[in-house]
Amino acid sequence: MKKIKVGLLGLGVVGAELADIINSNKENIKQKYEIEMEIGKAYVRDLQKKRNTDISPSCLTNSAEEVLNDSDIVCECMGGSGTEITKNYVIRCIESGKPVIMSSKKVIALYGKDILDLCLSQKSQIRFDATVGGGIPIAKVIKECFKGERITKAVGILNATSNYIYSSMERKGYTFGQALKKAQELGYAENDPTEDIDGFDALYKVIVLSLFAMKSWVNIKEMYTKSFSTIDLIDMKYAEELGYKIKPLAIFEKKDSKFIYRVGPCLIAENHIAANVTNNFNIIVFEGSNSGKLGFYGQGAGSKPTASAMYDDLISVLKTNFEYEMDLYKGCEVIHDYREFSNNLYWRVSVDNTIGKLALICNVFAKNSVNIEKVIQKDEVGGKMDVVLLTNSVESTVIDLITREFENNKVDVNTIIPFFND
């Protein structure tokens, strides 16, 4: 019977869960594949730390090189250990001819093209389906089920932390800060939540999904995000009055070699499927050239969903030959033309409740050729009055001009959010 040693780079919550799944499925792997699988060495930074795992202390090492030398397949579970370190370890695995299973979406987003090019030249397998979707097997679905058509567009909620925060604000009346604190208490948010709430985690997933779904390499250096933290409770209330919800959306579309995208808050109609995805759940809706819209829903974060996805990747390496898997990444288009997603806008501004202020606001929009479709004057609070305006699509440069002119005339611009209508 063939013996396979699995090395682990990292033994945090994901690595420990993966080790437990491997150990609990040993007999199943023996019967199905006639393979005796065992955990080899596991790289950790602190050998003395207490761990909730059955792995023998003799398997632990603080030398990544020892893991590479002692393993047939390597699983990268490095978590927040640093992208440069993780990238270097992954490259060492590939150069050693070892198949690699990855969990770091950030490493793929930053260095994926170089890593895949190296895999193709070295004829070494790599799997990173687990880097996006968590418990949603979205990468496998795309790779196996969209052979006869093109995926042209996608919209989704790709970050569980921000979605939990927005759900708590909407349903429980928490402020953004209160909801974030609760997410941290429940383990949905890191102690430093910057990558989640500023949209970077979702952006990394957009880059990975663009590769899987559109065979395109998009360059993170050409892209930006709009922070999810800019939304106030009052915006949630006003959106509801309009028949919409505010959601932390990722939108991306490939059109004539142009990449149109947005990662940030959007207003979405309350009857849209994504509007009703709450708590730590994610959704991704693809638009295929033949099949139309298809939605995929599930838990997008957590150690168990990620470890489960990594285990699936591990089994796939045992079953699939190099040529079949790596052919998926040949001939991918490198995108050079990036466009910001644009649509009608929601503006919330605050002004002193004095004569002429509303006229001033309307004049600024008119001067910049912006059409106001609706003006809603809200109640005065503390001498200030909220005004909600719905306008046509406005280019970012024009938004900057309007914002500066408002500031010069003591008009506070609180929120600007696009609508997503689909």
Q: Is 205 a catalytic residue?
A: yes
The DSSP line for 84-145 is: HHHHHHHHHHHHTT--EEE--HHHHHHHHHHHHHHHHHHT--EE-GGGSSTTS-HHHHHHHH
How many Cα atoms are found within 13 Å in the side-chain-facing hemisphere of 93?
Answer: 31
CB 90 within 8 A of CB 76: yes
Integer Cα distance of 51 and 81 in angstroms: 17
Number of neighbouring beta carbons within 10 Å of residue 251:
20
First-residue to last-residue Cα distance in the chain = 54
- Strands 35-43 and 2-9 turn out to be parallel
The token pair that represents 236 in the structure block = 């949630």
Which of 41, 87, 205, 245 does the annotation list as catalytic?
Answer: 205
Q: Do 62 and 47 form a contact (C-beta atoms < 8 A)?
A: yes
Chain position carrying tokens 């050998």:
47
Q: Which two three-digit tokens encode residue 78? A: 């490095």
Spell 262-289 as b/e; 16+ CB within 10 A means b: bbbbbbbeeebebbebbebbbbbbbbbe
Q: How many CB atoms lie within 10 A of CB 369?
A: 9
Catalytic residues: 205
